[in-house]
Structure 1
Amino acid sequence: MATAQPRGIERRTIDVVPDDERHGTPLSQFTLWFGANLQITAIVDGALAVVFGADALWAIIGLLIGNVLGGAVMALHSAQGPKLGLPQMISSRAQFGVFGAAIPLVLVVVMYLGFAATGSVLAGQALSKGLHLDAPKLGIVLFGALTAVVATLGYRYIHMLGRLSTVVGILGFGYLGIKILADYDVTSFFGTKGFDIVTFLLAVSLGAGWQLTFGPYVADYSRYLPADTPARTTFWATFLGSVLGSQWSMTLGAIVASIPAAAGGGFLANQVGFMGDLAGGGFVALVIYLVIVCGKLAVNCLNAYGGFMTILTTASGFTRRSQVSQLTRVLLISLFLATSVGVALFASADFLDNFKNFVLVLLMVFTPWSAINLVDFYLISKERVDIPALYDPNGRYGRWNATALVTYVVGVVVQIPFLAQKLYTGPVTDALGGTDISWIVGLVVTAGLYYAWARRTANPPAENIPMPATVS
């Protein structure tokens, strides 16, 4: 019978969560991912499609398609959590090997740092405006400190923050949406431009990229659910929370970017301040700033907690340790957040353009990882995992798995001719008129190659092998 997790700092890290510590319901997955997506960076992500040339209506449709496609992949990762009781990236050792999993893990840490830093820029702006700080960068530092507290406390408190941000976000952004409808003829924003395949697919990519980047850590927040939680229930709770929250935010962003004052540079120069002005200024703007901080705090804690877990996963592959002291936990989270705050303090210029390229680059490197992990778990291993072997370089999964590693490299390289980046545009992209379909190519090629190859080389167990109680 499951018991409530002790209050205070979370004890578990990358080790298996025992059955007697499992708790919660799938509803917690909905509120966590809804609250984490109903936030300012998702609004900016939606605005990018319009800023870079799409009609607002086609941008919203493209973002929806991307969110649904990427959200389905992301939710399939989430469904692994209750089944295994493990963080997401530990389970990828079953594909890449105990040492080999460190290769995508390094890229995951970069992802967490990037999103933590970009989120800190926007949340720092909101804190500075709300508290009337003379030094705007002080808001970034304060936000980093808030994130450190919640991320250090861990799983239970992150979920509590998710519930809070869900309620606050619905009220705050719901009011803002109504205010925009009252002040502007929103219907006039639609149909001002014809359908353009390049900007439409950019919107699809922005939506899909947003969702897919949650894949490497989404099971970290479902692994405490009781082991008998139906995979379908976990999938739908995560999928609906993430897709509904992000689509709400991105739709709002596409509309905000279509407002004449935004098109004139107001939103580009000051995203947070522009949102406060839309709300009506004064006290109402202060409330919106607090809503922005709450939403960003929810998702930034996911990034910091995920960053800590990923660093620990990388190190543990070589040290063979699955648990660390509370002091080590505090130090690693503090180091991660200090780094992200440092990046945020020096990377706030040209935020929108840099953020678009950041999301699309992440899409390039994480699509192959998702394809390999999901194909292996659901089609090759058929949800059977030798959990003790995930911690043993001499076990079933070995140190390095050439099948997964070579397939991963192929999955990244094959996308290069299809890229449409600021620094590089692939030859096929030029032939397609600038349309970026690299992530689609990466997903299909990686999934097909890995499935054909792993069927001959994989060594899945006949049934799930749990971690002995004396080890966990």
Structure 2
Amino acid sequence: MTESPKSLVERRSIDVVPDAERHGRAFSQFTLWLGANLQITAVVTGALAVVFGGDVVWSVVGLALGNVVGGAVMALHSAQGPKLGLPQMIQSRAQFGVRGAVVPLLLVILMYVGFFASGSVLAGQATAELTHTGDTTGIVLFAAVTAVTAAVGYRVIHVLGRIASVVCALAFVYLGIRLLDRVDLSALLADARFDLPVFLLAVSLSASWQLAFGPYVADYSRYLPRTTSARATFWWTLSGSALGSQWSMTFGVLVAASAGGVFLDDQVAYVVELGGTGLVASLLYFVIALGKLTINVLNTYGGFMSMVTSIGGFRTQKEISPRGRAAYIGLIMVVGTTVALLGKDSFLTSFKDFLLFLLTFFTPWSAINLVDYYLISKERYDIPALFDPHGRYGAWRWDALTVYGVGLLAQLPFLVTHFYTGPLVDPLGGADVSWIVGLVVPALLYWLLARRAPATGGLAQDGMGG
């Protein structure tokens, strides 16, 4: 199945993008991830650092540290795209086996459907205001636009990112000026008080935010020409994602420090009221919907890729018809919209906490994938074997799955959520450092085991192709 270099509608899914269809520049990663992060949920994430007891200065510093560290891990995944020409999660077959990769994949699908739902609630409120309808209609309309955009695919997603990066940046400049008119910035900056557990919480909030992009970030760099510099892809991805999220989160910190519960009670209404009334209010509702559309399309597209990868591992499927593509995306839309409608009044607060808990499952995956790709396989995979359960990577890689399981368990003593707190949290003053443990422990274990495995089997793969 071929695709014209000028075609708007994408035809490829988990199959390799041939050189003839590669296009674009690494700078496209900057605009996409800047636009995806200049949005209201990132603002709320930044506000939580203050809500949980942080001051303005150390909350901003902690969030910046987490965005850089987590963003660097995420950007290392992005750099894999141009080299391999494959979506992100298909690469997991090299570590976990062609069918074993379904273990992290199922959790990825669950998380991104959940993010679709939670994002649709906020965006649905903005859409309802724009269309003068109710929240339910707004959520459904927003979900439909998301699904159509994701179905068209890669090119329109990057166009959307470029538009959102400009429109949302201008809106945030305007909102920032309006906010600074309301707050006594010098007083907020003077009230700096370092508290290690609260500081580490801010780091964890932003690091987790960045790590959530890991399972699909290469989906949006895989069409770049094979000659694209890995360094350029890394830095443009990191700078766009870290700058966009830090900008939004810093705004959230200042909002929470000055408005507190007024903002958290109704985030959309507060932001719009901050900007003004009439035409300005309508424009801000549009900006909120646009920002959420950008990230929700990424979640839908990534969820679609993960579903195809999961099912394809058992059917040795490489390509998918436009009708099949629409069916997968439609399923994500229906499930995500149903969850959004059921939880739009009260459920989503606890559901978001559950989604953050799911991030626990992706730090070990990220560690294993990066160690294997950069240190063990040296950026080379036997691509045909990724689609053959009887090939060199096998159907199930129990050694890697065991390391993954150990990585999960290692995080539990350090984890902090509303429904579970690990036994080592109190000795650390209440700080959540589980994501650090989830990166370090499986990375070290996988590297040690891979170094001992024979070059033709086990964990060590010195694959060809890419």
User: What's the TM-score, normalizing by structure 1?
Assistant: 0.94
Number of the residue aligned with 2:5 = 5
Number of the residue aligned with 1:137 = 136
Q: Per the alignment, do residues 188 and 132 of structure 1 end up closer, same or farther by CA in structure 2, a change over 3 Å counting?
A: farther
- How far the C-alpha of 1:184 sits from its partner, in A, is 2.4
Equivalent residues of 1:35, 1:298 under 8 A apart: yes
Number of the residue aligned with 2:288 = 292
Number of the residue aligned with 1:109 = 109
Q: Per the alignment, do residues 441 and 43 of structure 1 end up closer, same or farther by CA in structure 2, a change over 3 Å counting?
A: same
CA distance in 2, matches of 1:340, 1:75: 27
- How far the C-alpha of 1:155 sits from its partner, in A, is 0.2
Please state whether the residue corresponding to 1:62 is helix, strand or coil.
helix
CA distance in 2, matches of 1:258, 1:189: 8
CA distance in 1, matches of 2:339, 2:349: 16
Q: Which moved more, 1:362-371 or 1:74-83?
A: 362-371
CA distance in 1, matches of 2:205, 2:422: 18
- How far the C-alpha of 1:353 sits from its partner, in A, is 4.6
CA distance in 2, matches of 1:29, 1:314: 26
Q: Aligned ranges for residues 316-331 of structure 1 at < 5 Å?
A: 316-331=312-327
Instruction: After superposition, give the CA deviation of every residue in 1:320-355 in whole Å (9 maximum; x if it has no partner).
Output: 011111111111101101111111112234578536
Q: Per the alignment, do residues 356 and 111 of structure 1 end up closer, same or farther by CA in structure 2, a change over 3 Å counting?
A: closer
Number of the residue aligned with 1:120 = 120
Instruction: After superposition, give the CA deviation of every residue in 1:114-173 in whole Å (9 maximum; x if it has no partner).
Output: 11111111101111122322x222111110011011100000000000000011011111
Q: 1:346 aligns with which of 338, 342, 345?
A: 342
Please state whether the residue corresponding to 1:383 is helix, strand or coil.
coil
Q: Per the alignment, do residues 344 and 356 of structure 1 end up closer, same or farther by CA in structure 2, a change over 3 Å counting?
A: closer
CA distance in 1, matches of 2:240, 2:347: 27
Instruction: After superposition, give the CA deviation of every residue in 1:421-450 in whole Å (9 maximum; x if it has no partner).
Output: 111111111222211111111211111111
Instruction: After superposition, give the CA deviation of every residue in 1:206-248 in whole Å (9 maximum; x if it has no partner).
Output: 1000100100000000000000111001101111011111110
Equivalent residues of 1:403, 1:454 under 8 A apart: no
Please state whether the residue corresponding to 2:130 is helix, strand or coil.
helix
CA distance in 2, matches of 1:122, 1:314: 30
Matched, 1:376 2:375: no
Number of the residue aligned with 1:195 = 194
- How far the C-alpha of 1:191 sits from its partner, in A, is 4.2
Matched, 1:168 2:155: no
CA distance in 2, matches of 1:317, 1:356: 30
Number of the residue aligned with 1:453 = 449
Q: Residue 181 of structure 1 aligns to which amino acid in structure 2?
A: L
CA distance in 2, matches of 1:188, 1:132: 40
Q: What is the aligned-residue RMSD (CA, Å)?
A: 1.7
Equivalent residues of 2:43, 2:249 under 8 A apart: yes
Q: 2:412 aligns with which of 373, 396, 416?
A: 416
Equivalent residues of 2:412, 2:434 under 8 A apart: yes
Equivalent residues of 1:55, 1:191 under 8 A apart: no
- How far the C-alpha of 1:356 sits from its partner, in A, is 5.9
Q: Residue 244 of structure 2 aligns to which amino acid in structure 1?
A: G
Number of the residue aligned with 2:151 = 152
Q: Which moved more, 1:180-189 or 1:410-419?
A: 180-189
CA distance in 2, matches of 1:308, 1:405: 23
Q: Residue 206 of structure 2 aligns to which amino acid in structure 1?
A: G
Equivalent residues of 1:268, 1:352 under 8 A apart: no
Q: Residue 249 of structure 2 aligns to which amino acid in structure 1?
A: M
Instruction: After superposition, give the CA deviation of every residue in 1:90-124 in whole Å (9 maximum; x if it has no partner).
Output: 01110000010000000100111111111111101
Q: Residue 187 of structure 2 aligns to which amino acid in structure 1?
A: S
Please state whether the residue corresponding to 2:46 is helix, strand or coil.
helix
Equivalent residues of 2:81, 2:87 under 8 A apart: yes
Number of the residue aligned with 1:230 = 229
Number of the residue aligned with 2:65 = 65
Q: 2:275 aligns with which of 260, 275, 279?
A: 279
Q: Residue 175 of structure 1 aligns to which amino acid in structure 2?
A: Y
Q: Residue 234 of structure 1 aligns to which amino acid in structure 2?
A: T
Number of the residue aligned with 2:465 = 465
Q: 1:366 aligns with which of 362, 365, 371?
A: 362
Matched, 1:398 2:394: yes
Q: Residue 290 of structure 1 aligns to which amino acid in structure 2?
A: F
CA distance in 1, matches of 2:370, 2:207: 16
Q: Residue 71 of structure 1 aligns to which amino acid in structure 2?
A: G
Number of the residue aligned with 1:46 = 46
Q: Per the alignment, do residues 351 and 24 of structure 1 end up closer, same or farther by CA in structure 2, a change over 3 Å counting?
A: farther
Q: Which moved more, 1:218-227 or 1:122-131?
A: 122-131
Q: Aligned ranges for residues 6-25 of structure 1 at < 5 Å?
A: 6-25=6-25
- How far the C-alpha of 1:456 sits from its partner, in A, is 1.9
Q: Per the alignment, do residues 306 and 7 of structure 1 end up closer, same or farther by CA in structure 2, a change over 3 Å counting?
A: same
Please state whether the residue corresponding to 1:109 is helix, strand or coil.
helix
Please state whether the residue corresponding to 1:291 is helix, strand or coil.
helix
Q: Residue 110 of structure 1 aligns to which amino acid in structure 2?
A: L
CA distance in 2, matches of 1:200, 1:191: 17
CA distance in 2, matches of 1:151, 1:214: 16
Q: Residue 62 of structure 1 aligns to which amino acid in structure 2?
A: G
Instruction: After superposition, give the CA deviation of every residue in 1:337-382 in whole Å (9 maximum; x if it has no partner).
Output: 1111111112234578536624531331111000000000000111
Paired residues, what number? 461
Number of the residue aligned with 1:250 = 249
CA distance in 2, matches of 1:396, 1:349: 50
Q: Per the alignment, do residues 186 and 359 of structure 1 end up closer, same or farther by CA in structure 2, a change over 3 Å counting?
A: farther
Specify every segment of 5 or more residues in structure 1 that has no aligned partner in the other structure, as ranges. Answer: 467-472
Q: Residue 89 of structure 1 aligns to which amino acid in structure 2?
A: M
Instruction: After superposition, give the CA deviation of every residue in 1:371-408 in whole Å (9 maximum; x if it has no partner).
Output: 00000000011111000000000001001112210000
